[in-house]
Amino acid sequence: MGKHSEITKRFLLAAKYQEIQALHHLSSNCRTVEAIKDMIHQLQRERGMSNVFLGSKGDRFTAQRDHQIESSQECEQDLRSLLKSLYLGNHDNGQSMRLLSSITFALQGMDHLPNLREKVSALQVNTLESTNAYCRLIAGLLDVIFEAADVASDPEMTRLLVALFNFMQGKEYAGQERAWGAIGFAESQFDSELCDRITALTESQQQCFETFSNFADAEEQAMWAELANSDIANNIQRLREMICALAKGGDCSPELSEVWYDIATNRIDAMQLIEEHLTARLNKQAELRIKQAEDELRNHELLVASLNNTPAHSGSPFTMLFDASVRGLRGADIREEELSESATLSAHKSFYELIRGQSQRIEEMAGQLTAAKQALNEQKVIDRAKLLLMQQGKISEQQAYRKLQTSAMEQNIRIAELAQRVVQRVEK
């Protein structure tokens, strides 16, 4: 009576052991995420300088670009070494196929960076082609961060990764906005299309930074609020309005191109501090969670050992079968033997409470995880819905987004909910 079988004890320990393994994998992924954050930042700088170089037909930024390429290459070497040591050491690394596959895709692009750089140096690609190539590589690297967030199973860590992914995605949209603006100023082309693009990218940034704020800590939120209310942000806003005004006609002094580029660059560089705060917290949290879980495993082992030396409880056994807090027959709300009936401490009781506690904690965690992963996927769903509307109605991205926005307002639901419905309706 009240005896727990050997196999139950072993499963309790196996579950904790696997939690620790999963946290180690997650910790590896956090180190990857940090290295990718650095790589993306270098590529964003290189993309910007390449554009100035191409725009000036090779006159300007030659030395700066060479210097930047060296920095990018150094960063790439670090990233490659890290990826190799983290994921290619063991035959079975226990990692998700999706994460490894996203790394493969990004690596494929990095393999051909030298080729892109040669083309830029020889002025064999135009600004748009070069920008596009860098954007693809950065999108591939961002996908790795997305997968790292999506495969994480610790809610607190997932929340951090969702915040970081959205922040980095927002920063990349800021980089794309800088590129479009620079192209516009360089070619003095200010049409309504450019205004539409800038507006679309501005709105996407807002969405990303909103999701980031929902999952960031107070300090990061404060850092972001400071940046969002800074002179830099105000100046960017003024320049955006100017671009849209120029689309309707008017003159533009050529110096504005440099002003736009510098302010947009200052803004992007300032974002780096927040990224660093997030990754520092991420790695600290990973260490902490591993330590916690290891302590818990030791406690579990001690309890199991003491259980083997403790005679079984003579009264009612501590079991889920008679635990009124466990959902049983639906509609029955009878109170049976309370588990707390015996005030004496018993290893058997602790053992049951441990198992019960673990299963309750998992239920709570599952709810938090679902919420974080839903937020992670929302942007993807909105993007997919936009693409579907663009294909169906032969409309622009901006028009598709307006359509989603209007319908969501009419139906009084969030834009992400509406996008979900659009996708479901089409894919059925």
Closest CA to 243 of 192, 202, 175: 192
Which 334-353 residues touch a second copy, going by CB under 8 A?
334, 336, 352
**Which CB sits closer to a second copy, 162 or 223?**
162
Residue 291 is a binding residue for a second copy (CB under 8 A)? no
Decide if residue 131 touches a second copy (CB under 8 A).
yes
Contacting range for a second copy; rule: CB under 8 A; set: 59-67, 124-132, 220-228, 282-290: 124-132
- Which range binds a second copy by CB under 8 A, 65-73, 93-101, 162-170, 301-309? 93-101
**From the list 56, 77, 104, 189, which residue makes contact with a second copy (rule: CB under 8 A)?**
104
What Å distances lie between residue 145 and 106, 138, 140, CA to CA?
Answer: 11, 11, 9
Q: Taking Cα atoms as reference points, which of 46, 11, 372 lies closest to residue 214?
A: 372
Instruction: Name the minimum Å distance from CB 321 to a second copy.
Output: 4
317 binds a second copy (CB under 8 A): yes
**Could you write out the DSSP letters of every residue in 134-197?**
HHHHHHHHHHHHHHHHHH---HHHHHHHHHHHHHHHHHHHHHHHHHHHHHHHHHT---HHHHHH
107 lies in the binding site for a second copy (CB under 8 A): yes
315 part of the interface to a second copy, by CB under 8 A: no
How many alpha carbons fall within 13 Å on the CB side of residue 92?
Answer: 2
Please pick, from the candidates 35, 113, 160, 168, the single residue that binds a second copy as defined by CB under 8 A. Answer: 113
Closest approach of a second copy to the CB of residue 266, in Å: 21
- Residue tagged 């980089």 (tokens): 175
Residue count, binding to a second copy (CB under 8 A): 102
**Interaction between residue 322 and a second copy (CB under 8 A):** yes
Question: For the residues of 38-89, what is the DSSP string, one character each?
Answer: HHHHHHHHHHHHHHHHHHTTT-SSHHHHHHHHHHHHHHHHHHHHHHHHHHSS
CA distances in angstroms from 280 to 66, 87, 153, 156, 171, listed in the order given = 30, 21, 19, 14, 18
Specify the residue, 223 or 260, whose C-beta has the smaller distance to a second copy.
260
Question: Least distance to a second copy from the beta carbon of 139, Å?
Answer: 6
| Unique residue bearing structure tokens 């965690």 | 365
Task: Out of 189, 237, 306, 370, name the contact with a second copy by CB under 8 A.
Answer: 370
Q: Which of 31, 58, 135, 259 contacts a second copy by CB under 8 A?
A: 135
Q: Does residue 133 touch a second copy according to CB under 8 A?
A: yes
CA distance 300 to 4: 14
CA separation for the pair 372, 155 (Å, rounded): 8
Interface with a second copy, residue 362, by CB under 8 A? yes
Beta carbon nearer to a second copy, 92 or 255: 92
Tell me which stretch binds a second copy (CB under 8 A): 32-40, 158-166, 223-231, 365-373.
Answer: 365-373
Inter-residue contact 321 to 356 (CB < 8 Å):
no
Residue pointed to by tokens 């009576």: 1
- In the range 148-177, which residues lie near a second copy by CB under 8 A? 150, 153, 173, 176
Least Å from the CB of residue 161 to a second copy: 16
Determine, following the binding rule CB under 8 A, whether residue 426 of this chain makes contact with a second copy. no
Kindly state the smallest distance separating residue 226's Cβ from a second copy, in Å: 26
Site for a second copy in 4-33 (CB under 8 A): 4-5, 7-8, 10-12, 14-19, 21-22
Least Å distance between CB 48 and a second copy?
Answer: 13
Least separation, in Å, of the C-beta of 36 and a second copy? 14
Judged by CB under 8 A, the residue of 156, 270, 328, 407 near a second copy is 328
- Residue 40's CB is within 10 A of a number of other CB atoms, namely 23
Within positions 46 to 85, which residues make up the interface with a second copy, using CB under 8 A? 80, 83-84
Which residues have a Cβ under 8 Å from the Cβ of 192 and sit 6 or more positions away? 247
Work out which of 44, 50, 204, 207 binds a second copy, going by CB under 8 A: 204
Considering only residues 389 through 408, tell me which ones interact with a second copy, judged by CB under 8 A.
Answer: 397
Q: By CB under 8 A, what part of segment 228-287 binds a second copy?
A: none
Q: Closest Cα to residue 407, out of 424, 385, 428?
A: 385
Least CB distance to a second copy at residue 132 (A): 4
Helix, strand, coil % over all residues of the chain, rounded to 5: 80, 0, 20
- CB atoms < 10 A from the CB of 230, how many? 14
